[in-house]
Structure 1
């Protein structure tokens, strides 16, 4: 008899009950996967269990939308059980206690589900049937329960035997080693696979299709490991081409993280994926091109991060996915060299700083991520760049041995961020609490900038004091125990590298140098994933030069000798105006620093790119009429000031500064109040100023079909000039040489004071 009840236990209560009361130590899964068109699973599961408490009288398991037909405990039929769409509750014939071991056989059938997102679950297609063990839109995300009864969380781990029966011509591929294949009288085949290592249920897998096997052997650091790639015959050439570096990538991971821990290196072709099923990685056949080497390398690294150790909860998913993203860069370093690692990591950081908080609806901490963002940009991409920062915070000589030992000491166990923090503290002797408090447990990023560098001669040396300023991007408080890498450039352009430590908003440190530094640069080698992206170029001729990830282009028209330039795009608000200027709003999001070594004569212009569609300047570009300008200061001790520029574009475009100088640049906008709150836009009302910027005399051309008044305002809003005009076209000459350099507004108003047209201009000095 089957009694269907709903609402017996909440999902949270049920999950807690399963995790705390018993453990499944082994699954035997016997399934017929024969008729793809019917989309049916039919079979039984034998679970070997052991209690975690005394006098346990019932077992609760996860199972989605599949119908249980019968249950036996230790060979004895259970006459009643409870089942709804998510939970299976089975009473035991007699209570069991800690130390007992017993078996439960559950026969079931039905059409397995696929999550609403169309990813996780059990898929049937014309040529393939397969599972994907994670559902993006489910809570919890684990989806082993989509095809067999189990404890479906990140904590419970078990070994597996799979017995999958297919029709003739099909191959069933599961995790672990293929033990046997038995051909039955009707030509159906039962494939027996065995997984000897313990894994969570969501990492169990099966795929059935007309596969061929591409086999090889990897000579690992401890033993030879079989490689088996199961794909369609038509995919053979593409598979051989894509996986040409598989052994090299395995070697990179083993050399850094320790020996491969599973019995087989396995991939299987699917329609969707990719998914790190243990020793049987699901890889979409649409990704079988050389451009997806990073994807199979990412999934392979999960055999260490995610499968060998597993995050203890979804809130700690960065321990799985962030480390796999880091490994996308690490394998490049091992195969293509460190510049490839650095370039890939810099691209990741630029993407994180520009888009992560947009895609995840706010700045988020790595730990404690909400369920809807478990598989979002923060966990993956921010996680990857934070691991990069951790690597350089500790240094390779500590980082790699510490993590390798952590993986070994916690092999086949769930782990948390707190356990990793405490382990690293004990292993390295460095208190990692401040690092984890800032980089892991808090949202946002720090932004480290050098405010100034003071040099005092001392005999043959120079006492060089570096003053640094920590700004914040989406972070609630300043980071502590920071390690910032400082590089000094000498007259021959050699770099001399040091590390300084500081906490809080400001810090300083004095270095004894045997030379007078020409430049002092923060994090020149991109070792820290703070809120800066930068690029450096050595330039030997005039021309146009792009600086990647900085939204800046340098155009050199006159160059006396070779030059060195570094452009830093700071993803944090610039310092505010020392004296606030009514109506002028500086960017609250970003600014640039231009640094260089060059000889005169030198002439260059800079192109600073802006964009609202790319979420670079949302606060400044509210509509098409917003007045975007650029400000400059030589260093942090000076006030921001207006400089001549031209603007190209509306909501996206660039600002060109024709006389580029080293220093800092920021975008800003004028408040609508200072250019007219109630503008009347008529095609016959026009105003233009030439030249602009004004260096002395200028001509103001006015055309209006109304009697009007021309008014000139200072940027502070003070009215400086006023001239009534009849309707028609007028050319007016003015001398602005006696006015201070800065921003001004020429506004044409009707006789009631309504704005007809306006034009902003800059007064400069020769």
Structure 2
């Protein structure tokens, strides 16, 4: 699930453009979270399972004006292990009308008690783990009447949303659900436990003009003769209750196919012509992820639907992902943001989260860290390493944006509210940890371990140690050190890096110091590469930092032009590195990675008054990475008038023809800020034809 979406909004050096872009991120309504009291021991354990919920059958009708659900639920249950003579279900804010056991002779009423949140049903006898029974519950659910602070924590927790039509602002009537974390029990009786796995059958009766969607495949569709239609959807592979979804509305369905399975995109008719532009890479994603993981996409179909006023960015309901309405993109808006990372994120969840599910909310990173890393994998495959590393930079900056992120464990058993877990630690930090794990064990071992993990735990729930054991099984290594310092602890290394060449000993000396507070954070074990650049060659040395302060020496016949520590740029660490201006320039010109150039440009912008730095920055206006071009644009205020005159043709070219709309917008803003209006009149007139929202905002900003 994407609750928070960022795209480099944390880069102060380029916020000039994002302040005017109309599609920069999702504004999530605030949720009040009360932290645990200091010193209060809290352990959020996995929920116990007394009753296994094997199958859920729902027959649902709706009162669209009242926002009510008229439901009939048939639940197939059986004791998980110990004999049970009662069942307790989660059912929030219902009018319970009938509870019975279904038998071959019909219904047999059962005694029950209900406190508005929990439905406790007394069974007709004590059942063993080998016996099942079918429970029938007739009810009315009123999710729109649930009170924030009493029945639900926030308005995002209603579980089912009736979108009432408003022709004045173009909002159509729709219905959609959002189950994560424990909200589906607001519209059907279930068990709020991620360790529960069930199959399901959902029948939806709606106006015949509407299209429906739910998990699995449509089994039947029947017109009722009264202007309504009943669609029945069957999900015959088990998944957790929070992944159940329904939606209905006036949608146009665009269909693709992948290995004989339907791949479909549900969009409002006005935006349906652009469905393949937005979602058209989905079949290729399915092929790529299936091949990369060694586990073929395991579900019967894959549908993606865009709804109005969704409470999150997107949600990975099994076989049917729901997206927020910013995915209603026009070709113009698509020039700014494609949201392809979100599409990849939710699809990757169908392996990590849906097929193999975190057994508790404390283990949420087993869902979200992987989905975040799925974005990186897809971008690498489709657009190359440079684009993927730019995306990874956003994750890094998002994590480092708040100092409080460093105080939180990744696997968190002490949360006060489970909604706290949907943060930059579970998502962005966790994704970067997986990348470090990949670099630590190697690509072949990394993907072999993921394949073993997915196959071993398919349609089951897991905890973090299951992931560790999978990697240990494949690699033959004890990896407790890695999981303890990264997944089961808080913080990150703060590295001070110094290097020098000792002419007397003919050695390169690298001094590394871990400066983080060791009373709060781990002393890290950090394998890394050090690249020595000398006479046009790169000599790589592998080291492992295990102490608070450690010195590494490398024989070298002459002084290197650059010593590049953490040469693969994969450590999630704050780094304080002392290099000369010449070394930073050399790094920008010769080191191979985007992050090499990004780090160098950061430093050169700090020394912009140096003529040599300015010349490199001028060159960087044509860097292949749009982020770097935009960073340098933002630094132009510090250039002299003579230099600004020299680069005027370059800025004009960026404003009109740069491949990235944000760079075009940034160039326009700087032309307006730094140059005489008469000099740029022609450029601005040409830019009017550019319909990217960020460019249009830049053109009209300040008017």
User: Is this a same-fold pair by TM over 0.5?
Assistant: yes
* Distance apart, 1:151 and its partner CA: 1.0
* Aligned mate of 2:409, from 356, 360, 365: 365
Partner of 1:437: 484
Partner of 2:141: 110
Partner of 1:23: 52
* Aligned mate of 2:276, from 240, 245, 249: 240
396 and 564 in structure 1: CA distance in 2 versus 1, 3 angstrom threshold: farther
* Distance apart, 1:463 and its partner CA: 5.2
Partner of 1:299: 346
Partner of 1:82: 113
SS of match in other structure, 2:88:
strand
Larger fraction in strand: 1
SS of match in other structure, 1:319:
helix
Partner of 2:530: 486
* Distance apart, 1:367 and its partner CA: 0.7
CA contact (8 A) 2:608 2:614 kept: no
CA contact (8 A) 1:248 1:335 kept: no
67 and 513 in structure 1: CA distance in 2 versus 1, 3 angstrom threshold: farther
* Aligned mate of 1:172, from 192, 203, 212: 212
* Aligned mate of 2:266, from 220, 230, 244: 230
546 and 417 in structure 1: CA distance in 2 versus 1, 3 angstrom threshold: closer
CA contact (8 A) 1:434 1:479 kept: no
554 and 330 in structure 1: CA distance in 2 versus 1, 3 angstrom threshold: farther
Cα separation, 2, equivalents of 1:314 and 1:294: 24
Partner of 1:519: 562
318 and 560 in structure 1: CA distance in 2 versus 1, 3 angstrom threshold: closer
Within the alignment, does 1:497 sit opposite 2:534 as a pair? no
**Max radius of gyration: which structure?**
1
Superposed counterparts of 1:710-729, under 5 Å: none
C-alpha distance after superposition, 1:295-321 (max 9, x if no partner)? 222111111111111111111111111
CA contact (8 A) 2:56 2:198 kept: yes
555 and 411 in structure 1: CA distance in 2 versus 1, 3 angstrom threshold: same
Unaligned runs of 5+ in 1: 1-14, 135-140, 540-544, 566-604, 608-766
433 and 287 in structure 1: CA distance in 2 versus 1, 3 angstrom threshold: same
Partner of 1:570: none
TM-score, normalised to structure 2's length? 0.70
CA contact (8 A) 1:446 1:473 kept: no
Partner of 1:51: 79
Cα separation, 2, equivalents of 1:384 and 1:561: 35
C-alpha distance after superposition, 1:623-662 (max 9, x if no partner)? xxxxxxxxxxxxxxxxxxxxxxxxxxxxxxxxxxxxxxxx
448 and 53 in structure 1: CA distance in 2 versus 1, 3 angstrom threshold: same
* Distance apart, 1:148 and its partner CA: 0.8
Unaligned runs of 5+ in 2: 1-43, 147-151, 165-172, 578-583, 591-597, 619-635, 639-703
* Distance apart, 1:550 and its partner CA: 6.1
Cα separation, 1, equivalents of 2:358 and 2:518: 26
* Distance apart, 1:454 and its partner CA: 5.0
* Aligned mate of 2:372, from 304, 322, 325: 325
Partner of 2:608: 555
Partner of 1:688: none
Superposed counterparts of 1:265-304, under 5 Å: 265-271=302-308, 272=310, 273=312, 274-289=314-329, 290=334, 291=337, 292-304=339-351
342 and 72 in structure 1: CA distance in 2 versus 1, 3 angstrom threshold: same
* Distance apart, 1:278 and its partner CA: 0.6
Within the alignment, does 1:342 sit opposite 2:389 as a pair? yes
Cα separation, 1, equivalents of 2:59 and 2:541: 61
Within the alignment, does 1:202 sit opposite 2:253 as a pair? no
Partner of 2:202: 162
* Aligned mate of 2:588, from 525, 528, 537: 537
Cα separation, 2, equivalents of 1:346 and 1:17: 34
Cα separation, 2, equivalents of 1:18 and 1:88: 17
Partner of 1:214: 254
SS of match in other structure, 2:482:
helix
Partner of 1:5: none
Within the alignment, does 1:124 sit opposite 2:168 as a pair? no
SS of match in other structure, 2:266:
strand
CA contact (8 A) 1:554 1:606 kept: no
Cα separation, 1, equivalents of 2:517 and 2:444: 30
Cα separation, 1, equivalents of 2:66 and 2:163: 10
* Distance apart, 1:338 and its partner CA: 0.7
SS of match in other structure, 1:442:
coil
Cα separation, 2, equivalents of 1:40 and 1:551: 61
* Aligned mate of 1:411, from 458, 469, 474: 458
378 and 559 in structure 1: CA distance in 2 versus 1, 3 angstrom threshold: closer
* Distance apart, 1:70 and its partner CA: 0.7
* Distance apart, 1:48 and its partner CA: 0.9
Within the alignment, does 1:192 sit opposite 2:239 as a pair? no
C-alpha distance after superposition, 1:426-475 (max 9, x if no partner)? 221222111111111111101334333455789xxx65453322222797
* Distance apart, 1:526 and its partner CA: 1.2
Q: Tell me the number of residue pairs that the alignment of Structure 1 and Structure 2 aligns.
A: 533
SS of match in other structure, 2:318:
coil
410 and 471 in structure 1: CA distance in 2 versus 1, 3 angstrom threshold: same
Cα separation, 2, equivalents of 1:204 and 1:479: 43
Partner of 2:291: 255
Partner of 2:399: 352
CA contact (8 A) 1:555 1:606 kept: no
167 and 326 in structure 1: CA distance in 2 versus 1, 3 angstrom threshold: same
When structure 1 is superposed on structure 2, of 526-535 and 332-341 the one drifting more is 526-535
* Aligned mate of 2:61, from 4, 9, 32: 32
C-alpha distance after superposition, 1:298-347 (max 9, x if no partner)? 11111111111111111111111111112222211010001111111122
CA contact (8 A) 2:492 2:521 kept: no
* Aligned mate of 2:131, from 91, 100, 125: 100
Cα separation, 2, equivalents of 1:39 and 1:562: 64
* Distance apart, 1:527 and its partner CA: 1.6
Cα separation, 1, equivalents of 2:108 and 2:436: 57
Cα separation, 2, equivalents of 1:561 and 1:212: 53
Cα separation, 1, equivalents of 2:478 and 2:496: 25
SS of match in other structure, 2:350:
coil
Partner of 2:423: 376
179 and 473 in structure 1: CA distance in 2 versus 1, 3 angstrom threshold: farther
Larger fraction in helix: 2
Within the alignment, does 1:182 sit opposite 2:239 as a pair? no
* Distance apart, 1:215 and its partner CA: 0.7
Larger RCO: 1 or 2 (CA < 8 Å, sep 6+): 2
When structure 1 is superposed on structure 2, of 35-44 and 333-342 the one drifting more is 35-44
C-alpha distance after superposition, 1:455-508 (max 9, x if no partner)? 5789xxx6545332222279724434321221111132x433232113121234
TM-score, normalised to structure 1's length? 0.65
418 and 269 in structure 1: CA distance in 2 versus 1, 3 angstrom threshold: same
SS of match in other structure, 1:538:
helix
SS of match in other structure, 1:445:
coil
* Distance apart, 1:558 and its partner CA: 4.2
CA contact (8 A) 2:267 2:328 kept: no
* Aligned mate of 1:466, from 488, 500, 510: 510
C-alpha distance after superposition, 1:245-271 (max 9, x if no partner)? 222222332222231111111112212
SS of match in other structure, 2:52:
strand
